């Protein structure tokens, strides 16, 4: 019995030693750290990308503002329109108009159709036009347009623009 236990203990110790040597003698894994030069390059690349994005944002904002201003100017030329403000998002123009007080009903509906046509003629990239003559919405749209002109991004107003469009064109 003692011989059997001795053999078993020897076998267990031998197995443990082989296991320790097999896993203990492996080469240590070093973390893959970037070299200082690579790290500097990454920082520079990130700065360049950020600057490029800011330039694109600025140019896009200015371009959208210029397009919106051109559309608004063309709308004001229509009879019955005192003032107009436009915000462009993608291929959609959100138009707020201040119309003459005495206009009502079918005349207003016809004027809105003329505005839609004028917008699409003025800017061929616009496929969807939403028009409102509501004074409160006109002010909100104008505030958004002014903030975009000051350099704020359109993305900051995405939810508000969606909400205005939903108010103007409720789902059926």
Q: What is the C-alpha separation between 116 and 167, in angstroms, rounded?
A: 18
pLDDT 10s digits, 22-33: 666 566 565 665
Following DSSP, what letter does each residue of 16-71 receive, concatenated?
HHHHHHHHHTSPPPPP-PPPHHHHHHHHHHHHHHHHHHHHHHHHHHHHHHHHHHHH
CATH assignment at residue 152: 3.30.300.30
Cα separation, 70 vs 84, in Å, equals: 11
* Cα 83 from Cα 85, distance rounded (Å): 7
Report the share of the chain in percent with pLDDT over 90.
29
Task: Provide the domain count of the chain.
Answer: 1
For residue 88, being part of any structural domain is answered with yes
Q: What is the pLDDT of residues 82-117, one digit of tens each?
A: 999 999 988 889 999 998 888 778 888 888 899 999
- Specify if 119 maps to a domain: yes
Mean pLDDT score, 151-165: 84
Rg (CA), the chain: 34
Structural domain including 124 reads 42-168
* In a domain? residue 71: yes
Residue 23 belongs to a domain:
no
Residues β-bridged to residue 89: 92
Q: 4-20: per-residue pLDDT in tens?
A: 777 778 877 878 777 77
Contact 72, 82 (CB under 8 A): no
């Amino acid at each position: 019995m003692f011989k059997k236990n001795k053999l078993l203990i020897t076998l267990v110790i031998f197995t443990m030693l082989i296991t320790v040597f097999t896993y203990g003698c492996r080469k240590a894994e070093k973390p893959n750290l970037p070299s200082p030069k690579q790290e500097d390059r990454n920082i520079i690349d990130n700065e360049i990308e950020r600057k490029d994005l800011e330039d694109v944002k600025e140019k896009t904002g200015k371009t959208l503002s210029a397009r919106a201003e051109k559309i608004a100017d063309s709308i004001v030329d229509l009879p019955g329109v005192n003032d107009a403000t436009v915000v462009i998002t993608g291929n959609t123009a959100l138009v707020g108009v201040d119309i003459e007080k005495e206009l009502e009903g079918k005349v207003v509906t016809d004027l809105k159709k003329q505005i839609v046509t004028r917008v699409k003629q003025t800017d061929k990239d616009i496929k969807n036009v939403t028009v409102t003559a509501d004074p409160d919405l006109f002010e909100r749209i104008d505030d958004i347009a002014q903030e975009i002109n000051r350099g704020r991004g359109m993305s900051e107003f995405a939810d508000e623009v969606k909400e205005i469009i939903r108010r103007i064109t409720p789902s059926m």
